[in-house]
Structure 1
Amino acid sequence: MPWHYNNKLRSSEEVASNPSILLKLSELAVASAEAETKWQLAYQLGSLSNQKEQAEAILLHFVTDADEYVSRRALLALGVLESSQAEKLAVRAWDTGYEYQRIATLSVLRDTESAKLAEYVTKALKDGREYLVQNAHEVEGT
């Protein structure tokens, strides 16, 4: 039986154990409407520091996905990879106004050791939404 990237027989962890398969499936998933598949692949791509350029190129497609969760998972993975694009994309995510995009912004700015972190922690505290404020306090303590 041929394997297809949405096949439930393999978990994302199994795919992640083989970077070349992960990269190939991720490339194929870019054009897919399968948000469930894409966010899991985006999450796993964040672990490919040895193939950073290839992973980053795919994540830059995922970060513009219409599905908010796919976009957010891709942004977080770009932060983990310390992508040169991460800070700019994190600021753009903040500007959406969505609480969870803002939480992701804080994580990315922390992961990339951005000079903008303190500014966005202050903005998060002023925003006042419960989970955003909790995350602001967490990143502030790191």
Structure 2
Amino acid sequence: MRVMPKNTNINLANKVARFKKWASSRQGTYGEWECDYQHWDELWKAAEESMKDFSHENSDIETINNLLYTIARDNEIERLRKEAIKYPELLRQLARFGVDSSEPDAKWQVSVSVADAQLPDAADLIRPYLNDNNEYVRRRSLLAIAPFSPNEAEEIAKVWMDKDYEYSRIAGLHVLDILKSECLELYLERHANDSSKYVRSNVEDIRKQRYRE
């Protein structure tokens, strides 16, 4: 028997369709282009109502994808990713379906929300994102998983300290700092003269913070 979508899901679908029509001539043309949308209040409300009404019996892939799309577009304010924390089962569905999503700005937000919600299965939900094609998704996911799987996160962070991309090295440093890793000082010393001024700056910041503690 086919489950009929709830009115809240239909409303969300309509609001997403309107946003996509507006975005068709703007998407990717300049940074933070989503912020210019004039009907965010209606889109937020539709997404939040759909989240509130979520249940396994009335969930469908279209609604999950619409929520992921809307969360992605809301990447500056992050209102919806924070709202999702209230609904653990929905958050689990977003995490499971989000792995195959084409929306990197949804993926990293879902990883962060899973961590913020402190779900018992947080590590298992976040782990697939550590291998995402998008570096920023991987980076935010490593930071998110660290408290839930510290040994795993520490080993990945060590590997990242040799990455070419400077922000991966920065993330590695912060994960080692979060975990109070015994090898942190070794990497702080090694990267004090890093080729990237941003890595060097983060080394200094971490050292200053440690001295204050």
TM-score (norm 1): 0.87
Higher-RCO chain (CA-CA 8 Å, sequence separation at least 6): 1
Structure-1 residue corresponding to 2:157? 90
For residue 8 of structure 1, what is the aligned residue in structure 2?
Answer: 70
For residues 69 and 128 of structure 2, what CA distance do their matches in structure 1 show? 22
Partners of 1:107 and 1:115 in 2: how far apart? 13
Residue ranges of structure 1 left out of the alignment (5+ in a row): none
Question: How far apart in 1 are the matches of 2:149 and 2:205?
Answer: 19
Query: Contact 2:69–2:103 at 8 Å: present in 1 too?
Result: no
Q: Does residue 199 of structure 2 align to residue 137 of structure 1?
A: no
For residue 66 of structure 1, what is the amino acid of its counterpart?
N
Q: Which residue of 2 aligns with 1:46?
A: 115
After TM superposition, the score normalised by the length of structure 2 is 0.60
Q: Once superposed, what is the RMSD of the aligned Cα atoms? A: 1.9
Question: 2 CA distance for matches of 1:60 and 1:95?
Answer: 21
Specify whether residues 48 and 16 from structure 1 end up closer, same or farther in structure 2 by C-alpha distance, changes over 3 A only.
closer
Deviation at 1:68, TM superposition (A): 0.3
The yes-or-no answer on 1:19 pairing with 2:88 is yes
Q: Which consecutive residues of structure 2, in runs of 5 or more, have no partner in the other structure?
A: 1-7, 10-62, 72-78
Structure 1 equivalent of residue 185 of structure 2: 118
Separation of aligned partners in 1, 2:116 and 2:81: 12
Q: Are the aligned partners of 1:30 and 1:58 in contact in 2 as well (CA < 8 Å)?
A: no
- 1:81, distance to aligned residue in structure 2 (A): 3.4
